[in-house]
Amino acid sequence: QQPVQSPQAVILREGEDAVINCSSSKALYSVHWYRQKHGEAPVFLMILLKGGEQKGHDKISASFNEKKQQSSLYLTASQLSYSGTYFCGTEKSGGATNKLIFGTGTLLAVQP
């Protein structure tokens, strides 16, 4: 079942912060985050594993609440380059595969 992302879209001014949420109805082993710019391929941002800690990448960080099967992506002091569609990809517990089920995406637009 496809994870649900919220919000569906968000418009920011440069320097503002944003949070994107990803919720699943199934127990998760890991959550991946990707960003896709218009006309380009998705680009990997980070993975959060079950039992792992919050991760950060420059001014983008994420958390993973295993009990709630939820992950949140935090974008701090947004830059124009952050614009794009953000997808979470979830992997169920168990198995040794790379089967990712992606969320519906969150469109982020950062304006000057």
Output 13 or 98, the one with its CB closest to other proteins. Answer: 98
Output 43 or 77, the one with its CB closest to other proteins. Answer: 43
| Distance in Å, CB of 64 to other proteins, minimum | 13
| Distance in Å, CB of 95 to other proteins, minimum | 8
Sign of the CA dihedral running 6, 108, 77, 43: positive
Amino acid at 67: K
| Distance in Å, CB of 102 to other proteins, minimum | 4
Interface with other proteins (CB under 8 A): 2, 29-30, 32, 34, 40-44, 47, 49, 87, 89, 91, 95-105
Round to whole Å and give the CA distance between 9 and 27: 26
Sign of the CA dihedral running 42, 16, 64, 24: negative
Output 19 or 49, the one with its CB closest to other proteins. Answer: 49
| Distance in Å, CB of 9 to other proteins, minimum | 14
Round to whole Å and give the CA distance between 63 and 11: 22
SS3 content of the chain, % helix, strand, coil (to 5): 5, 55, 40
Output 82 or 87, the one with its CB closest to other proteins. Answer: 87
